[in-house]
């Protein structure tokens, strides 16, 4: 089997990549190890798009479809009876408002958020992939490793081996896009990569530690609540204590709850996912009763934990350009680069104790196309949170819509050979 392009991973980056490349006429094989499409948003119940600047062409179309089938809605900040902020359904919001967070160096708005139901999100992406044509979508298909050819100092991925329900298969393509978040394909292909916090010496980032540190953005297990008793109860476990949470209403009347910081990423990694999950569930049992009381949600109970732990950071590519805190501080839509393909203005936020949120003083920053390009593998691009960002830059540049923008740029490039430099956000959306 031979394809124009294989996209590995169907999270935000993979969605942008596969749909855009197919729309431009490429014959795409899209593989995803899970049964549902949507990646971290869907499997870790991070079912909302944080307000931030974004030039994604696809996100307005996805949100419109979700609005039409009651799978998504806008939520705005309100105060609960106890005075705590909570996000609840609003009829008076539009997609473009969700982008307007940054006003000037001193002022941030709290615009509405777009929230969606996991299964509805999967259904909309499935429909879009059918409508656009040219896509073979294989769910429950796991990328195993890359077969790389070396020719006069240049490296090309010739094929990849994957595990499907039918067994192992080797598949060839002209181009590959790694949208696995943890850059499984890029690492297997021998690309240069890194993990953890870079030292100040490396990129002269003002907030970097003097020496390289193995610190990773925090892990969180999100969960859903709805009116009624807790369906899950258990012994309170260890971990941080706090009665604050980010809570938002979903279109079916349930709420997602994100306790934000629960476990340092590097500690989670050393525990392993199974033990870390036990720890996170114990931490929820410790904190939820206090959160419930603090937010006046006495009539609500836990009815579902996310199937997957929310992991914010992992291995990252060291590519043709590394986005750093200095780019974030310069802001200005990344005008100091000529190849910006995405914008974002989320604060730097490591979800680690003692680090807090650091707002960016000069507006949205830009992400250069070179952050998607590995140094030595010619037919591979990265479209996920594992793209070529420093750890500090990644803490701001990892939102779902930003990852979708990376995917769109990667898909467009492999299909047309052109870099989709963005000057102004095309709010009007993405048409099939
Ligand atoms: C707790 C938490 C809260 C967050 N809050 C928000 C928020 O409110 N708003 C927001 O916009 N962002 C938020 N983020 C960030 C955002 O959700 C992620 O950074 C983003 O979804 C990452 O997208 P991605 O495409 O890089 O990776 P993912 O969405 O993780 O997609 C990677 C995909 O690749 C697949 N995959 C991996 N390995 C393989 C393999 N070997 N073979 C086949 N498939 C594979 C995975 O199953 C997955 O579907 C949050 C993140 C976390 C963890």
- Top-level CATH class of 2-77+114-202+313-416? alpha beta
Q: Answer yes or no: is the C-beta of 44 below 6 A from any ligand 1 atom.
A: yes
pLDDT score at 428:
46
Which atom of ligand 1 approaches the CA of 385 most closely? 26
Domain locations in the chain as residue ranges: 2-77+114-202+313-416, 219-311
Mutate to test the pocket of ligand 1, among 32, 35, 46 (most ligand atoms within 8 A of CB): 46
pLDDT score at 329:
96
pLDDT score at 425:
55
Ligand 1 centre to CA of 386 (Å) is: 10
Which atom of ligand 1 approaches the CA of 407 most closely? 25
CB-CB neighbours of 68 under 10 Å: 10
Q: Report the nearest-CA residue for atom 53 of ligand 1.
A: 310
Mutate to test the pocket of ligand 1, among 6, 8, 9, 31 (most ligand atoms within 8 A of CB): 9
* Contact assessment for residue 226 and residue 300, using Cβ atoms and an 8 Å cutoff: yes
Ligand 1 centre to CA of 347 (Å) is: 18
pLDDT score at 105:
76
Ligand 1 centre to CA of 40 (Å) is: 3
CB-CB neighbours of 372 under 10 Å: 30
pLDDT score at 424:
61
Instruction: Name residues whose C-beta falls within 8 Å of residue 92's C-beta, 6 or more positions apart in sequence.
Output: none
Q: Answer yes or no: is the C-beta of 384 below 6 A from any ligand 1 atom.
A: yes
The closest of 312, 419, 240 to 50, measured between CA atoms, is 312
Strand partners, 256: 224, 248
Per-residue pLDDT of the chain (432 residues; tens, 9 = 90+): 799 999 999 999 999 999 999 999 999 999 999 999 999 999 999 999 999 999 999 999 999 999 999 999 999 999 999 999 999 999 999 999 999 888 777 788 889 999 999 999 999 999 999 999 999 999 999 999 999 999 888 899 999 999 999 999 999 999 999 999 999 999 999 999 999 999 999 999 999 999 999 999 999 999 999 999 999 999 999 999 999 999 999 999 999 999 999 999 999 999 999 999 999 999 999 999 999 999 999 999 999 999 999 999 999 999 999 999 999 999 988 989 999 999 999 999 987 777 778 999 988 899 999 999 999 999 999 999 999 999 999 999 999 999 999 999 999 999 999 999 987 655 444 444
Q: Answer yes or no: is the C-beta of 407 below 6 A from any ligand 1 atom.
A: no
Q: Answer yes or no: is the C-beta of 385 below 6 A from any ligand 1 atom.
A: yes
Q: Report the nearest-CA residue for atom 8 of ligand 1.
A: 50
Rounded-to-integer distance, Cα 222 and Cα 30, Å: 27
Instruction: Name residues whose C-beta falls within 8 Å of residue 373's C-beta, 6 or more positions apart in sequence.
Output: 319, 320, 321, 381, 382, 388
């Amino acid at each position: 089997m031979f394809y124009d392009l294989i996209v590995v991973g169907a999270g935000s980056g993979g969605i942008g990549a596969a749909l855009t490349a197919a729309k431009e006429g490429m014959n795409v094989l899209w593989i995803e190890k899970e049964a549902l499409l949507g990646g971290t948003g869907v499997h870790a119940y991070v079912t909302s798009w944080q307000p931030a600047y974004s030039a994604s062409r696809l996100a307005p179309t996805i949100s419109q479809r979700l609005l039409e089938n009651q799978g998504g809605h806008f939520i705005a900040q309100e105060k609960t009876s106890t005075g705590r902020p909570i996000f609840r359904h609003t009829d008076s919001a539009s997609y473009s408002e969700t982008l307007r967070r940054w006003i000037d160096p001193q002022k941030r708005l709290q615009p509405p958020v777009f929230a969606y139901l996991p299964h509805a999100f999967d259904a909309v992406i499935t429909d879009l992939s059918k409508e656009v044509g040219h896509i073979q979508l294989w769910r429950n298909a796991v990328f195993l490793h890359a077969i790389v050819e070396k020719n006069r100092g240049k490296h090309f991925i010739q094929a990849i081996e994957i595990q499907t329900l039918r067994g192992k298969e080797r598949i060839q393509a002209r181009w590959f896009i790694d949208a696995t978040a943890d850059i499984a394909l890029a690492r297997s292909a021998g690309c240069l990569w890194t993990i953890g916090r870079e030292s100040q010496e490396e990129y002269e980032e003002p907030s970097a530690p003097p020496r390289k540190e193995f610190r990773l953005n925090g892990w969180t297990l999100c969960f859903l609540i709805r009116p009624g008793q807790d369906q899950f109860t258990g012994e309170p476990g260890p971990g941080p204590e706090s009665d604050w949470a980010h809570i938002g209403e979903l279109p079916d009347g349930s709420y997602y709850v994100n306790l934000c910081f629960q476990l340092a990423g590097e500690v989670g990694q050393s525990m392993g996912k199974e033990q870390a999950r036990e720890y996170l569930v114990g931490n929820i049992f410790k904190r939820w009763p206090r959160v419930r009381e603090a937010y006046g949600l006495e009539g609500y109970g836990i009815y579902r934990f996310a199937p997957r732990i929310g992991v914010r950071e992992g291995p990252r590519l060291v590519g043709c350009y590394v986005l750093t805190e200095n780019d974030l501080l310069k802001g200005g839509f990344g005008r100091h680069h000529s190849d910006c393909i995405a914008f974002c203005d989320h604060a730097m936020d490591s979800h680690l104790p003692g680090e807090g949120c650091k707002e960016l003083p000069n507006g949205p920053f830009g992400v250069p196309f070179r952050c998607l390009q590995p140094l030595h593998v010619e037919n591979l691009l990265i479209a996920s949170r594992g793209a070529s960002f420093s750890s500090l830059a990644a803490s701001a540049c990892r939102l779902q819509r930003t990852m979708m923008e990376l995917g769109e740029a990667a898909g467009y490039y492999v299909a047309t050979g052109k870099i989709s430099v963005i000057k102004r956000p095309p709010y009007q959306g993405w048409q099939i």
